[in-house]
Amino acid sequence: MIRKILYFFGQLLFIPHLILFFLSREKELIVLDLYAKKSLKKDVLIIGYDLSLELLLNKYFRTLFYFRTTGFFSKVLRVFYPKQNTFIIDVHTKIGGGLILAHPYATILNAQSIGNNVYVNHLVTVGEKNNLKPTIGNNVELHANCTVIGGVTIGENAIIGAGAVVSKDVPENCIAIGNPAQIIEKKQ
């Protein structure tokens, strides 16, 4: 009971974030991110409650929220409610909705584009090589400590295993593991 009361008062501090959310052009993407692991809600009050609670408790989600909401007001809020410094998203990366963040500690996302419903674990590096950035499809899983680098394309529904180093294209519905990454299986 005491925890719920403390959460309630903590959520009140995030009312400016709710205002930013309702003024944002990226509302739909933020809602998809918020409910990436849960069933989607339609009620505005429930969305506001869930959003303020997630922003209070999850600095990784807060970092993604600030990525989605740019502008002066967003930058001011970052001073008082900081983002997670060990989770970096390049400002030029285009990310679809429903990004699933599984404690992305020490993760860098620097891609041409990242599709919808992508799962990102900790220590993941998606990076640039020779001015070329990866393109990640929809429903891709990037597991712990994997590296995707250069102008490669990761097809839809692909899984990049833990510790894999991907420097060549991975077709859709495939599983890639190892260093260098090799395709071990095509999913049905």
pLDDT value, residue 186: 76
| pLDDT reported for residue 8 | 87
pLDDT value at residue 39: 87
Strands, sheet with 153-154, edge to edge from the N-terminal-most edge strand: 94-95, 113-114, 135-136, 153-154
Task: Output the six-digit token pair for 85.
Answer: 């410094």
CA torsion, ordered 136, 175, 152, 92, to nearest 10 deg: 20
pLDDT at 1: 80
pLDDT at 100: 95
Strand stretches in 39-115, DSSP E: 87-89, 94-95, 100-101, 107-109, 113-114
Cβ burial of 116 (10 Å; 0-12, 13-18, 19+) is middle
Before 16, cis peptide (omega within 30)? no
* CB contact at 8 A, 34 and 4: no
Q: Give average pLDDT by consecutive 10-residue segment, the chain, 188 residues.
A: 87 94 94 91 91 95 95 92 93 96 94 97 96 97 97 96 96 94 80
Distance from C-alpha of 130 to C-alpha of 156, rounded to nearest angstrom: 24
Could you give the angle at the alpha carbon of 96 between the alpha carbons of 145 and 183, nearest 5°? 45
What's the CA gap between 72 and 176, in Å, rounded?
Answer: 41
Which positions are annotated as active-site residues? 122
The single-letter code of the amino acid at 14 is F
